Amino acid sequence: MPSLAATIDREAAVPPGGADGRAGEADQLARWIRLQSPTALRHAAALRPFLRDEFGSGPAAPSDGHLEAANALTGDLRRNVLAMSREIARAAAAPAPDRAALARLLASREAMLNWVRRAEDIWGFYLALFGQRQSRFGPMLLACDRIALDCYQYVYTGIGRAKPVPSPAPFCYMETGLGPATWRRGIAMAKLGRRPNPFPLIQLPHHRLVNPWTLGAVLHESGHNLQSDLGLWQAVPLAIARRLLEAGISPAVARVWARWHQETWADLVAVLLGGPEIVASLMDVTARSARSTQRFDPAGVHPTPWLRIPINIELLRRMGFEERARGFRQAWERLYPPPPPGAIPRALLESFPRACEAAVDAIAFQPFPQLGGRSLAGSVRFEARDQGLVEEAARRLAESRDPGIVPAVFLVGAARHALDRRWAAPGTIAGNFYRALVRR
Protein backbone atom coordinates (compact mmCIF):
# COMPACT_ATOMS: atom_id res chain seq x y z
CA MET A 1 0.00 0.00 0.00
CA PRO A 2 1.49 3.40 -0.94
CA SER A 3 2.33 5.75 1.90
CA LEU A 4 0.19 8.78 2.67
CA ALA A 5 3.00 11.06 1.46
CA ALA A 6 3.28 9.17 -1.86
CA THR A 7 -0.48 9.32 -2.37
CA ILE A 8 -0.54 13.03 -1.68
CA ASP A 9 2.37 13.72 -4.04
CA ARG A 10 0.59 11.78 -6.79
CA GLU A 11 -2.69 13.62 -6.25
CA ALA A 12 -0.96 17.00 -6.03
CA ALA A 13 0.77 16.34 -9.35
CA VAL A 14 -2.53 15.98 -11.26
CA PRO A 15 -3.04 19.17 -13.33
CA PRO A 16 -6.16 20.80 -11.89
CA GLY A 17 -7.36 21.81 -15.29
CA GLY A 18 -6.99 18.35 -16.84
CA ALA A 19 -5.18 17.88 -20.16
CA ASP A 20 -6.34 21.11 -21.82
CA GLY A 21 -3.21 23.01 -20.82
CA ARG A 22 -4.99 25.47 -18.54
CA ALA A 23 -2.11 24.96 -16.05
CA GLY A 24 -0.07 27.36 -18.16
CA GLU A 25 -2.79 30.00 -18.39
CA ALA A 26 -1.54 33.41 -17.31
CA ASP A 27 -4.76 34.37 -15.60
CA GLN A 28 -4.09 35.27 -11.95
CA LEU A 29 -7.31 33.70 -10.66
CA ALA A 30 -6.62 30.43 -12.51
CA ARG A 31 -3.11 30.29 -11.10
CA TRP A 32 -4.40 30.92 -7.57
CA ILE A 33 -7.09 28.25 -7.91
CA ARG A 34 -4.58 25.76 -9.30
CA LEU A 35 -2.34 26.09 -6.22
CA GLN A 36 -5.11 25.42 -3.70
CA SER A 37 -5.25 21.66 -4.22
CA PRO A 38 -1.52 20.81 -3.78
CA THR A 39 -1.27 23.27 -0.89
CA ALA A 40 -4.21 21.66 0.87
CA LEU A 41 -2.84 18.16 0.28
CA ARG A 42 0.54 19.15 1.67
CA HIS A 43 -1.20 20.52 4.75
CA ALA A 44 -2.59 17.04 5.29
CA ALA A 45 0.78 15.38 4.67
CA ALA A 46 2.50 17.59 7.24
CA LEU A 47 0.11 16.37 9.96
CA ARG A 48 1.64 12.91 9.84
CA PRO A 49 1.51 10.33 12.63
CA PHE A 50 4.37 10.33 15.13
CA LEU A 51 6.85 7.50 14.57
CA ARG A 52 8.43 5.08 17.02
CA ASP A 53 11.87 6.29 18.17
CA GLU A 54 11.13 9.76 16.76
CA PHE A 55 11.63 11.18 20.24
CA GLY A 56 14.59 9.00 21.14
CA SER A 57 14.90 5.31 21.82
CA GLY A 58 15.91 5.41 25.49
CA PRO A 59 13.70 4.74 28.49
CA ALA A 60 12.66 8.40 28.74
CA ALA A 61 11.01 8.32 25.28
CA PRO A 62 7.21 8.14 25.07
CA SER A 63 5.97 4.57 24.98
CA ASP A 64 4.31 2.95 21.98
CA GLY A 65 1.02 3.30 23.86
CA HIS A 66 1.42 7.05 24.28
CA LEU A 67 2.32 7.48 20.60
CA GLU A 68 -0.59 5.31 19.45
CA ALA A 69 -3.03 7.28 21.61
CA ALA A 70 -1.77 10.61 20.25
CA ASN A 71 -1.90 9.34 16.66
CA ALA A 72 -5.42 8.01 17.13
CA LEU A 73 -6.54 11.40 18.41
CA THR A 74 -5.10 13.24 15.41
CA GLY A 75 -6.09 10.56 12.89
CA ASP A 76 -9.72 11.67 12.48
CA LEU A 77 -8.65 15.27 12.09
CA ARG A 78 -6.07 14.27 9.48
CA ARG A 79 -8.71 12.35 7.52
CA ASN A 80 -11.00 15.40 7.58
CA VAL A 81 -8.21 17.59 6.22
CA LEU A 82 -7.65 15.08 3.40
CA ALA A 83 -11.37 14.93 2.58
CA MET A 84 -11.65 18.71 2.43
CA SER A 85 -8.48 19.02 0.36
CA ARG A 86 -10.03 16.68 -2.23
CA GLU A 87 -13.16 18.82 -2.25
CA ILE A 88 -10.92 21.75 -3.10
CA ALA A 89 -9.25 19.71 -5.86
CA ARG A 90 -12.64 18.94 -7.43
CA ALA A 91 -13.75 22.57 -7.19
CA ALA A 92 -10.47 23.79 -8.65
CA ALA A 93 -10.75 21.35 -11.58
CA ALA A 94 -13.86 23.02 -13.02
CA PRO A 95 -12.93 24.17 -16.57
CA ALA A 96 -14.66 27.55 -16.26
CA PRO A 97 -15.78 28.05 -12.70
CA ASP A 98 -18.78 30.32 -12.32
CA ARG A 99 -19.65 32.34 -9.23
CA ALA A 100 -21.38 29.38 -7.56
CA ALA A 101 -18.38 27.08 -8.19
CA LEU A 102 -16.02 29.68 -6.78
CA ALA A 103 -18.23 30.04 -3.71
CA ARG A 104 -18.05 26.26 -3.17
CA LEU A 105 -14.28 26.40 -3.53
CA LEU A 106 -14.01 29.16 -0.93
CA ALA A 107 -16.34 27.37 1.49
CA SER A 108 -14.34 24.14 1.14
CA ARG A 109 -11.10 26.04 1.64
CA GLU A 110 -12.40 27.71 4.83
CA ALA A 111 -13.60 24.37 6.21
CA MET A 112 -10.27 22.74 5.38
CA LEU A 113 -8.29 25.50 7.11
CA ASN A 114 -10.44 25.15 10.21
CA TRP A 115 -9.64 21.42 10.33
CA VAL A 116 -5.96 22.18 9.75
CA ARG A 117 -5.89 24.59 12.68
CA ARG A 118 -7.56 22.06 14.98
CA ALA A 119 -5.22 19.28 13.91
CA GLU A 120 -2.13 21.48 14.15
CA ASP A 121 -3.04 22.58 17.69
CA ILE A 122 -3.27 18.98 18.88
CA TRP A 123 -0.30 17.75 16.85
CA GLY A 124 1.79 20.66 18.13
CA PHE A 125 0.76 19.98 21.72
CA TYR A 126 2.04 16.41 21.53
CA LEU A 127 5.10 17.46 19.55
CA ALA A 128 6.14 19.75 22.44
CA LEU A 129 5.08 17.22 25.09
CA PHE A 130 7.03 14.33 23.60
CA GLY A 131 9.91 16.54 22.50
CA GLN A 132 10.75 17.32 26.14
CA ARG A 133 11.93 13.73 26.44
CA GLN A 134 14.89 14.54 24.18
CA SER A 135 15.97 17.47 26.35
CA ARG A 136 18.06 17.53 29.52
CA PHE A 137 14.79 17.22 31.43
CA GLY A 138 14.04 13.79 29.95
CA PRO A 139 15.63 11.82 32.84
CA MET A 140 13.78 13.91 35.42
CA LEU A 141 10.46 13.31 33.67
CA LEU A 142 11.19 9.60 33.35
CA ALA A 143 11.80 9.47 37.11
CA CYS A 144 8.44 11.13 37.73
CA ASP A 145 6.74 8.71 35.30
CA ARG A 146 8.11 5.81 37.33
CA ILE A 147 6.84 7.27 40.59
CA ALA A 148 3.38 7.83 39.08
CA LEU A 149 3.27 4.30 37.68
CA ASP A 150 4.35 2.95 41.06
CA CYS A 151 1.36 4.74 42.64
CA TYR A 152 -0.94 2.90 40.25
CA GLN A 153 0.71 -0.47 40.80
CA TYR A 154 0.54 -0.12 44.58
CA VAL A 155 -3.15 0.73 44.60
CA TYR A 156 -4.28 -1.67 41.88
CA THR A 157 -2.44 -4.65 43.40
CA GLY A 158 -3.83 -3.85 46.84
CA ILE A 159 -7.56 -3.64 46.09
CA GLY A 160 -9.85 -6.53 46.85
CA ARG A 161 -10.46 -7.74 43.31
CA ALA A 162 -8.34 -8.01 40.18
CA LYS A 163 -8.46 -4.92 37.98
CA PRO A 164 -5.96 -4.32 35.16
CA VAL A 165 -3.84 -1.18 35.47
CA PRO A 166 -5.21 1.25 32.88
CA SER A 167 -3.08 2.00 29.84
CA PRO A 168 -1.39 4.17 28.73
CA ALA A 169 0.24 5.06 32.04
CA PRO A 170 0.44 8.63 33.40
CA PHE A 171 2.81 10.88 31.46
CA CYS A 172 4.71 13.72 33.15
CA TYR A 173 5.82 16.94 31.51
CA MET A 174 7.33 20.25 32.56
CA GLU A 175 5.51 23.57 32.41
CA THR A 176 7.46 26.50 33.83
CA GLY A 177 5.84 29.17 35.96
CA LEU A 178 2.79 27.14 36.97
CA GLY A 179 1.99 24.82 39.83
CA PRO A 180 1.51 21.06 39.57
CA ALA A 181 -1.68 20.00 37.84
CA THR A 182 -3.19 16.99 36.15
CA TRP A 183 -5.59 16.17 33.35
CA ARG A 184 -7.46 12.95 33.90
CA ARG A 185 -7.98 10.20 31.37
CA GLY A 186 -11.12 10.86 29.32
CA ILE A 187 -11.60 14.48 30.39
CA ALA A 188 -12.22 17.01 27.60
CA MET A 189 -9.17 19.26 27.22
CA ALA A 190 -9.11 22.70 25.62
CA LYS A 191 -5.59 21.96 24.30
CA LEU A 192 -7.04 18.96 22.49
CA GLY A 193 -9.95 20.87 20.96
CA ARG A 194 -12.28 19.67 23.76
CA ARG A 195 -11.53 16.06 22.82
CA PRO A 196 -11.09 13.39 25.53
CA ASN A 197 -7.59 13.15 26.97
CA PRO A 198 -6.33 9.63 26.11
CA PHE A 199 -3.94 9.22 29.07
CA PRO A 200 -3.31 11.03 32.38
CA LEU A 201 -1.04 14.05 32.09
CA ILE A 202 0.88 15.34 35.11
CA GLN A 203 2.24 18.86 34.77
CA LEU A 204 5.22 19.75 36.96
CA PRO A 205 6.93 23.13 37.24
CA HIS A 206 10.68 23.38 36.85
CA HIS A 207 11.22 24.39 40.48
CA ARG A 208 9.68 21.11 41.64
CA LEU A 209 11.85 19.01 39.34
CA VAL A 210 15.08 20.56 40.58
CA ASN A 211 13.98 20.00 44.20
CA PRO A 212 12.79 16.37 44.20
CA TRP A 213 11.90 16.40 47.92
CA THR A 214 8.93 18.59 46.85
CA LEU A 215 7.68 15.93 44.42
CA GLY A 216 4.97 14.76 46.76
CA ALA A 217 3.07 16.55 44.00
CA VAL A 218 3.51 13.48 41.75
CA LEU A 219 1.81 11.30 44.36
CA HIS A 220 -0.95 13.88 44.84
CA GLU A 221 -1.64 14.33 41.12
CA SER A 222 -1.54 10.55 40.64
CA GLY A 223 -4.17 10.40 43.38
CA HIS A 224 -6.53 12.50 41.28
CA ASN A 225 -6.10 10.11 38.37
CA LEU A 226 -6.55 7.07 40.59
CA GLN A 227 -9.81 8.40 41.98
CA SER A 228 -11.08 8.86 38.44
CA ASP A 229 -9.80 5.59 36.95
CA LEU A 230 -11.14 3.59 39.91
CA GLY A 231 -14.62 5.06 39.40
CA LEU A 232 -14.67 6.93 42.72
CA TRP A 233 -15.35 10.44 41.46
CA GLN A 234 -18.99 10.37 42.63
CA ALA A 235 -18.69 7.78 45.39
CA VAL A 236 -16.20 9.70 47.53
CA PRO A 237 -18.16 12.97 48.00
CA LEU A 238 -21.29 10.97 48.77
CA ALA A 239 -19.41 8.92 51.36
CA ILE A 240 -18.00 12.06 52.98
CA ALA A 241 -21.38 13.79 53.19
CA ARG A 242 -23.08 10.70 54.57
CA ARG A 243 -20.41 10.15 57.22
CA LEU A 244 -20.42 13.80 58.34
CA LEU A 245 -24.19 13.90 58.62
CA GLU A 246 -24.05 10.72 60.71
CA ALA A 247 -21.53 12.49 62.96
CA GLY A 248 -23.99 15.34 63.56
CA ILE A 249 -22.34 17.86 61.24
CA SER A 250 -24.70 20.40 59.67
CA PRO A 251 -25.70 19.90 56.02
CA ALA A 252 -24.10 23.23 55.08
CA VAL A 253 -20.72 22.20 56.50
CA ALA A 254 -21.05 18.69 55.04
CA ARG A 255 -21.51 20.23 51.59
CA VAL A 256 -18.24 22.14 51.98
CA TRP A 257 -16.36 18.95 52.88
CA ALA A 258 -17.98 17.09 50.00
CA ARG A 259 -16.85 19.86 47.63
CA TRP A 260 -13.29 19.36 48.92
CA HIS A 261 -13.34 15.65 48.09
CA GLN A 262 -10.96 15.68 45.10
CA GLU A 263 -8.11 17.46 46.85
CA THR A 264 -8.62 15.71 50.19
CA TRP A 265 -8.64 12.30 48.51
CA ALA A 266 -5.47 13.14 46.55
CA ASP A 267 -3.71 14.36 49.70
CA LEU A 268 -4.63 11.27 51.70
CA VAL A 269 -3.67 8.87 48.90
CA ALA A 270 -0.28 10.59 48.67
CA VAL A 271 0.35 10.20 52.41
CA LEU A 272 -0.78 6.56 52.37
CA LEU A 273 1.62 5.89 49.49
CA GLY A 274 4.62 7.92 50.63
CA GLY A 275 4.37 8.23 54.40
CA PRO A 276 4.98 11.09 56.84
CA GLU A 277 7.48 12.99 54.69
CA ILE A 278 4.70 13.72 52.19
CA VAL A 279 3.05 15.92 54.83
CA ALA A 280 6.23 18.01 54.94
CA SER A 281 6.12 18.26 51.14
CA LEU A 282 2.50 19.43 51.38
CA MET A 283 3.55 22.11 53.88
CA ASP A 284 5.76 23.53 51.12
CA VAL A 285 2.56 24.17 49.14
CA THR A 286 0.31 25.48 51.88
CA ALA A 287 2.68 27.51 54.09
CA ARG A 288 2.23 31.07 52.90
CA SER A 289 1.28 34.27 54.67
CA ALA A 290 -1.35 33.91 57.38
CA ARG A 291 -3.74 35.98 55.27
CA SER A 292 -3.45 33.60 52.31
CA THR A 293 -3.31 30.37 54.29
CA GLN A 294 -6.28 31.19 56.53
CA ARG A 295 -8.56 32.60 53.82
CA PHE A 296 -11.71 30.57 53.18
CA ASP A 297 -12.90 30.35 49.57
CA PRO A 298 -16.64 29.61 49.50
CA ALA A 299 -16.37 28.12 46.00
CA GLY A 300 -12.94 26.49 46.35
CA VAL A 301 -12.30 22.80 45.74
CA HIS A 302 -9.17 22.86 47.92
CA PRO A 303 -9.59 22.75 51.69
CA THR A 304 -8.66 26.04 53.33
CA PRO A 305 -4.85 25.67 53.54
CA TRP A 306 -4.74 26.27 57.29
CA LEU A 307 -7.08 23.28 57.74
CA ARG A 308 -5.51 21.14 55.03
CA ILE A 309 -2.42 20.17 57.01
CA PRO A 310 -4.42 19.08 60.10
CA ILE A 311 -6.51 16.81 57.85
CA ASN A 312 -3.34 15.00 56.79
CA ILE A 313 -2.04 14.99 60.35
CA GLU A 314 -5.22 13.17 61.38
CA LEU A 315 -4.48 10.51 58.77
CA LEU A 316 -0.91 10.13 60.09
CA ARG A 317 -2.34 9.56 63.56
CA ARG A 318 -4.72 6.90 62.25
CA MET A 319 -1.84 5.24 60.38
CA GLY A 320 0.03 4.79 63.68
CA PHE A 321 2.55 7.62 63.30
CA GLU A 322 1.39 9.46 66.40
CA GLU A 323 4.75 10.99 67.30
CA ARG A 324 5.24 12.37 63.80
CA ALA A 325 1.66 13.65 63.85
CA ARG A 326 2.33 15.55 67.09
CA GLY A 327 5.51 17.04 65.64
CA PHE A 328 3.74 18.30 62.53
CA ARG A 329 0.88 19.70 64.60
CA GLN A 330 3.25 21.61 66.88
CA ALA A 331 5.16 22.99 63.91
CA TRP A 332 1.95 24.08 62.17
CA GLU A 333 0.60 25.78 65.29
CA ARG A 334 3.87 27.67 65.72
CA LEU A 335 3.69 28.92 62.16
CA TYR A 336 0.16 30.32 62.50
CA PRO A 337 -1.91 31.93 65.24
CA PRO A 338 -5.66 31.25 65.27
CA PRO A 339 -7.36 32.92 62.29
CA PRO A 340 -8.97 36.33 62.83
CA PRO A 341 -12.76 36.41 63.26
CA GLY A 342 -14.55 36.03 59.93
CA ALA A 343 -11.61 34.55 57.99
CA ILE A 344 -13.17 31.07 58.17
CA PRO A 345 -16.89 30.49 58.83
CA ARG A 346 -17.56 29.87 62.49
CA ALA A 347 -19.59 26.71 61.87
CA LEU A 348 -16.71 25.23 59.88
CA LEU A 349 -14.17 26.02 62.60
CA GLU A 350 -16.25 24.81 65.52
CA SER A 351 -17.10 21.52 63.85
CA PHE A 352 -13.63 20.94 62.39
CA PRO A 353 -12.28 18.34 64.89
CA ARG A 354 -15.33 16.07 64.48
CA ALA A 355 -15.69 16.72 60.76
CA CYS A 356 -12.00 16.07 60.12
CA GLU A 357 -12.10 12.70 61.90
CA ALA A 358 -15.26 11.72 60.04
CA ALA A 359 -13.96 12.80 56.62
CA VAL A 360 -10.63 10.98 57.03
CA ASP A 361 -12.50 7.91 58.20
CA ALA A 362 -14.88 8.05 55.22
CA ILE A 363 -12.13 8.42 52.62
CA ALA A 364 -9.43 6.16 54.01
CA PHE A 365 -10.94 3.64 56.42
CA GLN A 366 -14.36 2.70 55.05
CA PRO A 367 -14.85 0.06 52.32
CA PHE A 368 -15.76 0.96 48.75
CA PRO A 369 -17.16 -1.50 46.18
CA GLN A 370 -14.80 0.08 43.65
CA LEU A 371 -11.88 -1.12 45.81
CA GLY A 372 -13.20 -4.66 45.89
CA GLY A 373 -14.85 -4.12 49.27
CA ARG A 374 -11.68 -2.82 50.91
CA SER A 375 -10.86 0.57 52.34
CA LEU A 376 -8.20 2.79 50.84
CA ALA A 377 -5.97 2.32 53.89
CA GLY A 378 -6.55 -1.43 53.60
CA SER A 379 -5.45 -1.35 49.97
CA VAL A 380 -2.41 0.86 50.55
CA ARG A 381 -0.76 0.07 53.88
CA PHE A 382 2.15 2.34 54.74
CA GLU A 383 3.48 1.04 58.06
CA ALA A 384 6.47 1.48 60.35
CA ARG A 385 8.49 -1.02 58.33
CA ASP A 386 7.88 1.05 55.20
CA GLN A 387 9.14 4.13 57.00
CA GLY A 388 12.21 2.09 57.86
CA LEU A 389 12.77 1.50 54.13
CA VAL A 390 12.37 5.23 53.48
CA GLU A 391 14.93 6.12 56.12
CA GLU A 392 17.43 3.51 54.93
CA ALA A 393 17.03 4.75 51.36
CA ALA A 394 17.55 8.31 52.63
CA ARG A 395 20.86 7.32 54.21
CA ARG A 396 21.99 5.65 50.99
CA LEU A 397 20.97 8.59 48.81
CA ALA A 398 22.97 10.90 51.06
CA GLU A 399 26.00 8.60 50.79
CA SER A 400 25.71 8.28 46.98
CA ARG A 401 24.95 4.59 47.27
CA ASP A 402 22.35 2.54 45.47
CA PRO A 403 19.18 2.83 47.59
CA GLY A 404 18.48 -0.85 46.97
CA ILE A 405 15.21 -2.61 46.25
CA VAL A 406 12.90 0.13 47.43
CA PRO A 407 9.66 1.20 45.71
CA ALA A 408 9.99 4.27 43.52
CA VAL A 409 7.14 5.90 45.43
CA PHE A 410 9.24 5.84 48.64
CA LEU A 411 12.13 7.82 47.16
CA VAL A 412 10.40 11.21 47.41
CA GLY A 413 10.14 10.71 51.16
CA ALA A 414 13.72 9.40 51.25
CA ALA A 415 15.04 12.55 49.57
CA ARG A 416 13.04 14.67 52.01
CA HIS A 417 14.24 12.71 55.03
CA ALA A 418 17.89 13.02 53.97
CA LEU A 419 17.57 16.75 53.36
CA ASP A 420 15.68 17.42 56.62
CA ARG A 421 18.47 15.77 58.56
CA ARG A 422 21.20 17.52 56.56
CA TRP A 423 22.90 14.25 55.70
CA ALA A 424 24.17 15.64 52.38
CA ALA A 425 24.05 18.77 50.24
CA PRO A 426 20.80 19.36 48.33
CA GLY A 427 22.53 18.92 44.96
CA THR A 428 23.97 15.57 46.01
CA ILE A 429 20.59 14.30 47.16
CA ALA A 430 18.85 15.52 44.00
CA GLY A 431 21.45 13.96 41.70
CA ASN A 432 21.35 10.62 43.51
CA PHE A 433 17.53 10.65 43.56
CA TYR A 434 17.30 10.92 39.78
CA ARG A 435 20.16 8.55 39.18
CA ALA A 436 18.49 5.87 41.30
CA LEU A 437 15.19 6.16 39.41
CA VAL A 438 16.59 6.46 35.89
CA ARG A 439 18.82 3.39 36.24
CA ARG A 440 15.88 1.12 37.08
Question: Does residue 232 contact residue 265 with C-beta atoms inside 8 Å?
Answer: yes
Q: Specify the pTM.
A: 0.89
What DSSP letter does each residue of 347-409 carry, written as one string? HHHHTHHHHHHHHHIIIIIS-BGGGTTB-HHHHS---HHHHHHHHHHHHHHHTT----S--GG
pLDDT in tens, the chain (440 residues): 455 455 555 554 544 444 444 444 448 888 888 888 788 778 777 878 899 889 988 999 999 999 999 999 888 888 888 888 888 877 777 777 788 888 888 888 888 888 888 888 898 999 999 999 999 999 999 999 999 999 999 999 999 888 888 899 999 999 987 689 999 999 999 989 899 999 999 999 999 999 999 999 999 999 999 999 999 999 999 999 999 999 999 999 999 999 999 999 999 999 999 999 999 999 999 999 999 999 999 999 999 999 999 999 999 999 999 999 999 999 999 999 999 999 999 999 999 999 999 999 999 999 999 999 999 999 999 999 999 999 999 999 999 999 988 999 999 999 999 999 999 999 999 999 999 999 88
Cα angle: 75, vertex 79, 83; to 5 degrees: 170
Enumerate residues 6+ apart whose C-beta is below 8 A from 143: 212, 408, 433, 434, 437, 438
305 within 8 A of 247, measured Cβ to Cβ: no
